[in-house]
C-alpha cells in the first residue's frame, strides 16, 4: 500500500470517530436528559482523547514524508498539506490538556444553559475561569510560529489569517459603520414598519416547523441526509452525510426562527455538497469558518433579505401561518421587518448592518483575554463599555443579554468570532462576482435558486480544502478579500 493510501485508511478510521463525536454533541444539545450530563461529559472526554491520539499518530508524519518523495497530483499535494496541518495542530497539545479542556468545556456549557437564564455571572465565572485558563495554556503551546497567542487560536478556524490582517479590515469597518447605522436608522424612521404587528399574535410551533422545513426544501436541503431539531442555541452540526440543523422557536414571533433556519441551511448545503471522494479527509472538509459563514450569510443575507426574494418568503409564511398572521401584516410591513435595522443586545438576532459591531466587540475582548491583557473578571465592564461605544446600549448587570449570551466561549472556542464578519464580507464579494455570470436578480424574482447554487457548488462547495482560503477567493472572484464589496452591499440595500 502506498503512503497516500495508508493515510487515507487512517483517516477513514478517524472520520468514524469524528462522526460519533458530532452525533453525541448534537444529542447533548437537543435530546440528552439533564441527568446524563456527567456521564456524557466523561464519554465525550474519552472520545476526544482517542481522536487526539489518532490525529497525532507519529506514523502520519512518516507517511507524509514518504509520499512527498513521489510525483503528486495537485489534489494529493493539497491532501498532504492539510494532513500535515491537522497533524501539527493535534500533536502540539498533551493528552492531559485535551482531556481537561474537554471536561471543563462540557461542564461550563451545561451549567451555562441554566446560569444564563438566571443571569448568574458569579456562578458562570467559576467554570469559565477554568476554561479560559486551559485555553490560554493551549494558546501558549500553539504560539510557536505565530505573532501572538491569539493568532495561534485563530489559526484553528481561519488558517493563514492573523490579528494584523483582521484589524486592517475591522479598523476600516469601524470608520464607516457607526455613521452608516445612524443613517440607516434615521432613514427607516420615515417609513413606519408597524413593528408591533408581528408580536401580538400566537404562531404555533408545529406550523413554524412546517414553514422551516418547506423553506429548507426550497433552499435545496437534502432531508435524506439531515434533519431539523430544537436547541437553546441554533447550530448546524453532524457530518456531510448526516447534517443536523437546530433552531429555537418563539410563539409570539416567527421571523427570527425562519431566518435562523435559512442561515443554518446555508451551512448545511455547504456540508452536504463537499467533495464526496474527499469528505473523510482533512482536504475534503470545509475551507475555513469564514468561508463556512459566508455560505450561511449568503443564504440569509444575500438571498433571503433581498427585496426581490422577500415576497416568496411572505407567500410561504402565509401558506403555513395564514390563520395566525394578522391582516395588518402585509407584504410591505413584512419586508420592513425583514430589513429593519435597529440596535439590539443579541448578536444572533442582529441585522446585517449592526452585526459587525457585535463581532468586533467580541474579537477585541477575546483577543485581549487570550493575550493576557485582561482578566476574566474584567469582561462584564468591558462588554458594557464597548456596547455603549458601538451601539449606545448598556449591559451593566445584564449578563444574560451581554457577556453570557453566546455559547462559543463556554468550550474555549476563542478565535472563532472574526469568522462571522469575514464571512459576511466573503458573501458580498461572492455575490458581486456571481452577478457577472448569473442573473441573480432574476433568480430571486423567480425563486429559482438552482443557478445560484450551481455557481456556489462549482466555485466553493466542491473545492473542499483543496485550495487555501486566499486561493479559493481569488479563483472564485478574481481578487483577494476586499471589504469594499460588503460596504457597497449595505449601502445599496439600505440607503
The string of DSSP letters for 73-85 reads -HHHHHHHHHHHH
Dihedral sign for Cα 468, 469, 474, 480, please: negative
**318 shares its domain with 457:** yes
- Sort 57 into a burial class: Cβ within 10 Å, 0-12 / 13-18 / 19+: middle
Which of 145, 177, 205 represents a domain boundary (last residue)? 145
Which of 110, 145, 180 represents a domain boundary (last residue)? 145
**186 shares its domain with 81:** no
CA-CA distance, 221 to 38, in Å (whole number)?
34
**459 shares its domain with 341:** yes
Q: Where are the alpha helices (DSSP H) in 189-254?
A: 205-218
**186 shares its domain with 311:** yes
Identify whether the C-beta of residue 488 lies closer than 8 Å to the C-beta of residue 428.
yes
253 within a domain of the structure (yes/no) = no
**401 shares its domain with 485:** yes
Per the structure, the complete domain to which residue 63 belongs is given by 3-145
In this prediction, residue 325 carries a pLDDT of: 81
**328 shares its domain with 288:** yes
**31 shares its domain with 168:** no
Identify whether the C-beta of residue 83 lies closer than 8 Å to the C-beta of residue 7.
yes
132 within a domain of the structure (yes/no) = yes
**167 shares its domain with 113:** no
Model pLDDT for residues 108-151, shown as the tens digit of each residue: 999 999 999 999 999 999 999 999 999 999 999 999 889 999 99
CA-CA distance, 90 to 87, in Å (whole number)?
5
pTM as predicted: 0.93
Question: What residues have CB less than 8 Å from 165, skipping those under 6 apart?
Answer: none
In this prediction, residue 328 carries a pLDDT of: 72
228 within a domain of the structure (yes/no) = no
In this prediction, residue 465 carries a pLDDT of: 98
**457 shares its domain with 489:** yes
**366 shares its domain with 419:** yes
26 within a domain of the structure (yes/no) = yes
Active-site residue (options: 18, 264, 271, 352): 264
Total domains present in the chain:
2
Dihedral sign for Cα 109, 23, 27, 222, please: positive
151 within a domain of the structure (yes/no) = no
Half-sphere exposure of 381 (CA within 13 A, CB side): 5
331 within a domain of the structure (yes/no) = yes
Question: What residues have CB less than 8 Å from 129, skipping those under 6 apart?
Answer: 376
| All cell numbers assigned to 206 | 408545529
In this prediction, residue 81 carries a pLDDT of: 97
Q: Any idea what the CATH number is for the domain that residue 292 is in?
A: 1.10.1370.30
251 within a domain of the structure (yes/no) = no
**471 shares its domain with 325:** yes
Identify whether 109 is a catalytic site residue.
Answer: no
CA-CA distance, 427 to 425, in Å (whole number)?
5
213 within a domain of the structure (yes/no) = no
**96 shares its domain with 181:** no
Low-confidence ranges of the chain (pLDDT < 50): 196-198
Amino acid at each position: 500500500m502506498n503512503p497516500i493510501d495508508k493515510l487515507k485508511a487512517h483517516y477513514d478510521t478517524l472520520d468514524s470517530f469524528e462522526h460519533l463525536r458530532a452525533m453525541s454533541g448534537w444529542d447533548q444539545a437537543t435530546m440528552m436528559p439533564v441527568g446524563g450530563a456527567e456521564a456524557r461529559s466523561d464519554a465525550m472526554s474519552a472520545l476526544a482523547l482517542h481522536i487526539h491520539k489518532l490525529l497525532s499518530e507519529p506514523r502520519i508524519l512518516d507517511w507524509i514524508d514518504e509520499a512527498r518523495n513521489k510525483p503528486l497530483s495537485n489534489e494529493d499535494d493539497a491532501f498532504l498539506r492539510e494532513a500535515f496541518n491537522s497533524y501539527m495542530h493535534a500533536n502540539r497539545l498533551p493528552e492531559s490538556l485535551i482531556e481537561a479542556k474537554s471536561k471543563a468545556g462540557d461542564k461550563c456549557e451545561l451549567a451555562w444553559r441554566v446560569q444564563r437564564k438566571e443571569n448568574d455571572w458569579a456562578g458562570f465565572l467559576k467554570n469559565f475561569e477554568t476554561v479560559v485558563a486551559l485555553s490560554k495554556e493551549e494558546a501558549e503551546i500553539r504560539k510557536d510560529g505565530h505573532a501572538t497567542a491569539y493568532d495561534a487560536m485563530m489559526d484553528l478556524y481561519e488558517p493563514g489569517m492573523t490579528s494584523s490582517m483582521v484589524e486592517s479590515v475591522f479598523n476600516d469597518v469601524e470608520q464607516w459603520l457607526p455613521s452608516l447605522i445612524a443613517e440607516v436608522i434615521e432613514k427607516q424612521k420615515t417609513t413606519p414598519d408597524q413593528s408591533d404587528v408581528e408580536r401580538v399574535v400566537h404562531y404555533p410551533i408545529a406550523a413554524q416547523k412546517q414553514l422551516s422545513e418547506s423553506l429548507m426544501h426550497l433552499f435545496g436541503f437534502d432531508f435524506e441526509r439531515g434533519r431539523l431539531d430544537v436547541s437553546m442555541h441554533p447550530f448546524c452540526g453532524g457530518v456531510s452525510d448526516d447534517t443536523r440543523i437546530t433552531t429555537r422557536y418563539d410563539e409570539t414571533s416567527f421571523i427570527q426562527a425562519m431566518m435562523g433556519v435559512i442561515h443554518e441551511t446555508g451551512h448545511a448545503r455547504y456540508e452536504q455538497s463537499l467533495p464526496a471522494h474527499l469528505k473523510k479527509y482533512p482536504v475534503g472538509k470545509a475551507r475555513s469558518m469564514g468561508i463556512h459563514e459566508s455560505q450561511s450569510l449568503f443564504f440569509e443575507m444575500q438571498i433571503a433579505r433581498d427585496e426581490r426574494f422577500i415576497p416568496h418568503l411572505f407567500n410561504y409564511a402565509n401558506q403555513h401561518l395564514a390563520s395566525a398572521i394578522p391582516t395588518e401584516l402585509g407584504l410591505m410591513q413584512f419586508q420592513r421587518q425583514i430589513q429593519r435595522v435597529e440596535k439590539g443586545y443579541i448578536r444572533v438576532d442582529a441585522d446585517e448592518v449592526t452585526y459587525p459591531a457585535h463581532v468586533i466587540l467580541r474579537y477585541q475582548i477575546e483577543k485581549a483575554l487570550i493575550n493576557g491583557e485582561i482578566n476574566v473578571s474584567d469582561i462584564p465592564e468591558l462588554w458594557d463599555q464597548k456596547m455603549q461605544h458601538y451601539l449606545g446600549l448598556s449591559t451593566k448587570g445584564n449578563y444574560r443579554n451581554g457577556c453570557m449570551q453566546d455559547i462559543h466561549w463556554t468550550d474555549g472556542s476563542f478565535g472563532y468570532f472574526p469568522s462571522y464578519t469575514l464571512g459576511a464580507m466573503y458573501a458580498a464579494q461572492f455575490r458581486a462576482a456571481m452577478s457577472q455570470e448569473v442573473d441573480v436578480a432574476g433568480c430571486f424574482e423567480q425563486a429559482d435558486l438552482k443557478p445560484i447554487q450551481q455557481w456556489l457548488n462549482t466555485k466553493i462547495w466542491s473545492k473542499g480544502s483543496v485550495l487555501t482560503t486566499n486561493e479559493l477567493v481569488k479563483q472564485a472572484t478574481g481578487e483577494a478579500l476586499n471589504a469594499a464589496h460588503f460596504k457597497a452591499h449595505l449601502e445599496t440595500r439600505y440607503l
